[in-house]
Amino acid sequence: MGWVTISLRKMALKQRVSNLQYRLLQISQERQTIANQSQYTQRYINAMKNQQYNGITSSYMSSVQELQNENINTDPTSGAWSIYQNALDQLSLVQSRQQMAADSIFQGYEDALMADVNRRDQQLEAEQTQIETQLQAAQAELESLDQAMEDSIKNSAIKLS
C-alpha cells in the first residue's frame, strides 16, 4: 500500500476514532442524566410518601383527640371505658393499614422507576462496551497504519550508494 493510500485510510480512521470517542462521551452524559433523574424522582416519591404519612398521622391524631374529648369523663371501671379502648385500638389499626397501603403504593412506584432506570442503564452499558471494543480496534489499526506508513516511506526513499 502506498503512503498516500495509507494517509487516506488514516484520516478516515481518525474520524472514526473521534466519532466513537464522542459517542462514549454522550453515553457517559446520558448515564449521568439517568442517575440524576432517578435520584430526583426518588426524592419526589419520598416527599410524597412523607406527605401521605403526615396526612394519615394528622387524621389519626385528630380522631384520637375527638374520641378523648368525647370520653373525658368516662369512668375507667365502666363498660364505656372498654368501648373507648376498643375505639382507640381500631383507630390505631386503621392508621397502620393506611400506612401499609401507602408503603405498598410508593414501593410500587419506586420499583417501577428502578426497573426502568436499570434497563436503560444496561442498554447504555452494553452500547458503551461495544463502542469501546470498536474504538480499541480502530486505534490498533491506526497504529498499524502508522507503522506501515513509516515502512512505506523508508522503502520509497532514494538510496545512494
Phi and psi based region of residue 156 (left: phi greater than 0; alpha: psi -120 to 50; beta: remaining): alpha
pLDDT, tens digit, for every residue of 108-155? 999 999 999 999 999 999 999 999 999 999 999 999 988 888 877 777
CB 148 within 8 A of CB 6: yes
pLDDT, tens digit, for every residue of 44-92? 999 999 999 999 999 999 999 998 888 878 777 788 888 888 998 999 9
pLDDT, tens digit, for every residue of 4-57? 787 888 899 999 999 999 999 999 999 999 999 999 999 999 999 999 999 999
Closest by alpha carbon to 10, among 151, 149, 153, 158?
149
Domain boundaries, the chain: 3-129
* Higher pLDDT pick, 22 / 159: 22
How far is Cα 140 from Cα 9, in angstroms, rounded to an integer? 13
CB atoms within 10 A of CB 13: 18
